[in-house]
Amino acid sequence: MKADHLPRSAYLPRMPRRKKVPIGCIGAGFIMADCHLKAYRQAGFHPVAIASRSPERARRVARRYGLKAYDNYQQLLEDRSIRVVDIAVPPDVQYEVICEVVQHADHIEGILAQKPLGVDYAQAAAIVRICRQAGIVLAVNQNMRYDQSVRAARYLLERGVLGDPVFATIEMRAIPHWMPWQERQGWVTLRIMSIHHLDTFRFWFGDPQRVYASVRPDPRTLQRFYHEDGICTYVLEYEDGLRAAAWDDVWAGPAREGAAADLGIRWRIEGTQGMARGTIGWPKYPRHTPSTLDYTTTRKPVWHRPRWREAWFPEAFAGTMAQLLVALETGEPPEISGEDNLATMALVDACYRSAREHRAVEPAEIMQQGH
């Protein structure tokens, strides 16, 4: 391996041999229309049908991608040609939709569910349980795991290039486009943005022993609706001494109110034998902006800067579907199975409890009460 040229397998997903598995899509909003379906087209996957709460929106997206549009998702589920269902609906209706999907387990083999998996850990556990009972393979669209710099960092960690991890950080200063359904949930950041970073820490380092979180409202969003989890900071404590910390700043200063903007996402991993740092490109969307990775080691004390053309938006979304299709053809669990994602959901709930009770919380507390 040349230090500045990682193999493509270091940052791109494993692809299935059979790409033409018929996929039915439920939901026709931005994430489906501009991310999932665009990535599937590039990857050669085979979406065939779509349904949405808005039939007209579903028809518009269907025309764009050459799909069949159904007036509702119940009609789509009756289409016996469909083998996989891709669900991109608000989390508070996801459980209801999945309960209907599992009634069609005679022809539906797999579900890709959007994150967060339901509204909390307890509901996520119920979703996992009903899919398991129906014999349907459940994967979760925890798509930051397929950001190219995140995968490349994992590649370095798995090969011991950085030595033992000592300290890691993710710093987000960005102003996301909030979804209308968040107002009825009262959520802003922890379940929507921080869930990506918490899951990335798990992807890199495994499960922490405990987490301490502190939150405050985002002044800009507070003008629209009340919430607690606007700006979020949290520290993950691992048994081996590793500490991983993030600050998710969706205020990011008064950039929308007239000040100059300083937006972006940066991450950093410090190990006993090396250090890696990177940037995440999605805040510049719709400009196609690949994420980056730089790393240095004690053996080669210069900055190595491998680069690639692919970006999180939209290419990473091919990875979340690919891991499900690979699981269906091999019989192995998906890389982001429903069971695995329960640990991320428990970690998010632990952050909420920590912030409210002003103490460190072990995810095990959430898991014990959620079953």
| 3-class DSSP string for 241-256 | CCEEEEEEECCCCCCC
296 and 161 inside one domain: yes
Is 337 among the domain residues?
A: no
117 and 157 inside one domain: no
18 and 100 inside one domain: yes
pLDDT at 1 over 60: no
Q: What is the pTM of this model?
A: 0.97
Average pLDDT over residues 255-283: 97
Q: Which of 56-60, 176-180, 205-209, 348-352 has the lowest mean pLDDT?
A: 176-180
SS3 of 53, please?
Answer: coil
The helix or strand, by DSSP H or E, that contains position 165, with its residue range, turns out to be strand 165-173
Cβ neighbours of 358 (radius 10 Å): 9
106 and 221 inside one domain: no
102 and 176 inside one domain: no
Is 3 among the domain residues?
A: no
pLDDT at 2 over 70: no
According to the model, what pLDDT value does residue 5 have? 83
pLDDT class for 371, splitting at 50, 70, 90?
low
For residue 116, whether the previous peptide bond is cis, meaning omega lies within 30 degrees of 0, is: yes
Name the nearest CA neighbour of 347 among 237, 263, 228, 188: 237
pLDDT class for 76, splitting at 50, 70, 90?
very high
Instruction: Tokens for 326, please give them.
Output: 């690979």
Q: What is the pLDDT of residues 96-119, one digit of tens each?
A: 999 999 999 999 999 999 999 999
* Environment class of 299 (CB within 10 Å of its CB; exposed 0-12, middle 13-18, buried 19+): exposed
Average pLDDT over residues 138-146: 98
Output the average pLDDT for the chain: 97
The torsion of the CA quartet 175, 181, 184, 185, rounded to 10 degrees, works out to -70
Residue bearing tokens 């486009």 = 177
Average pLDDT over residues 61-87: 98
Is 370 among the domain residues?
A: no
According to the model, what pLDDT value does residue 54 have? 96
Distances (CA, A) of 339 to 292, 293, 345: 30, 30, 10
137 and 183 inside one domain: no
Which CATH number goes with the domain that contains 58?
A: 3.40.50.720
> In angstroms, rounded to a whole number, what is the distance separating the alpha carbons of residues 264 and 253?
12
Which CATH number goes with the domain that contains 269?
A: 3.30.360.10
Q: What is the pLDDT of residues 283-330, one digit of tens each?
A: 999 999 999 999 999 999 999 999 999 999 999 999 999 999 999 999
Average pLDDT over residues 239-251: 98
pLDDT at 370 over 70: no
pLDDT class for 156, splitting at 50, 70, 90?
very high
According to the model, what pLDDT value does residue 3 have? 60
Instruction: Tokens for 286, please give them.
Output: 């719709």
Which domain does 98 fall in, by range? Answer: 8-144+321-332
56 and 77 inside one domain: yes
Average pLDDT over residues 145-165: 98
Name the nearest CA neighbour of 313 among 293, 290, 294, 335: 290
140 and 170 inside one domain: no
Is 74 among the domain residues?
A: yes
According to the model, what pLDDT value does residue 369 have? 84
40 and 50 inside one domain: yes
Number of domains in the chain: 2
The helix or strand, by DSSP H or E, that contains position 148, with its residue range, turns out to be helix 148-158
